[in-house]
Structure 1
Amino acid sequence: MLEIILLCGLAVLAANLPFLSDRVGFFIPPAALKMNFGWRLLELVVLYLGVGLIARVLEARVTSVQPQHWWFYVATAALFIVMAWPGFVWRYFWRKPGL
């Protein structure tokens, strides 16, 4: 049960990470490459795949990995995008003083 809660917390954190920094992949400074929505979307896809890999490894430690169909991945991607909503709102809609 604790693993499930930690995995969900990790997914929420990973979904919001692209919107928290102006660096591309948290490594390349913003002066070297302009961070636009395309880069954030790419980071979101990479983090989705990373969380999915961690979930698969955790499942393999407990039991045999169940085969999934395409609709499972569509549903989990939609949930991951919904989890990214607070970071998206903070980055693009929240009014920042002085800007």
Structure 2
Amino acid sequence: MDIGAAAWLVILLALVLANLPFFNERVFALLPFAFSAAHGTGQAPSKPFLVRLLELAVLYFAVGGIGRALEGRIGTVFPQTWEFYAISACMFIVLAFPGFVVRYLRKRH
């Protein structure tokens, strides 16, 4: 895989995984979320915002690990300082904005 394809793969993967917590009610899209207060009410349990944020943080590190692995496969892994991680975390949050809007800001009819 060349450098351009690896970069686009990481960007697309980050876009998909950043929105994953907001588009489903399962944890990491695999495990059902069960909350005791929703049992008996007839409603499906909804993930709290804090769970979505924790899931977003774990997915950020997963994308970072995949990106680092692809970089190591292509060539030398460059050392990164805190500025890189601060900027990439902010970019991951920006990529999650469409899912946040659909989940919390869109009017329901």
TM-score, reference length from structure 1: 0.90
Cα distance per residue 1:38-58 (max 9 Å; x no partner): 000001001000000000000
**Which of 76, 80, 103 is 1:68 aligned to?**
80
Distance 2:28 2:22 in 1: 11
- Identity over aligned residues, as a percent? 47
**Which of 10, 33, 41 is 2:53 aligned to?**
41
Larger radius of gyration: 2
Alignment of 1:5-44 (within 5 A): 5-30=8-33, 32-33=34-35, 34-44=46-56
Distance 1:61 1:74 in 2: 24
Distance 2:18 2:100 in 1: 10
Consecutive unaligned residues in structure 1, runs of 5 or more: none
Partner of 1:88: 100
Aligned residues: 96
- RMSD of the alignment, in Å? 1.2
Consecutive unaligned residues in structure 2, runs of 5 or more: 36-45
User: Partner letter of residue 41 of structure 1?
Assistant: L
Which deviates further from its counterpart, 63-72 or 18-27?
A: 18-27
Which deviates further from its counterpart, 19-28 or 69-78?
A: 19-28
Cα distance per residue 1:25-68 (max 9 Å; x no partner): 323434x2251110000010010000000000000011111111
**Is the contact made by 2:15 and 2:96 (CA closer than 8 Å) also made in structure 1?**
yes
TM-score, reference length from structure 2: 0.82
**Is the contact made by 2:20 and 2:28 (CA closer than 8 Å) also made in structure 1?**
no
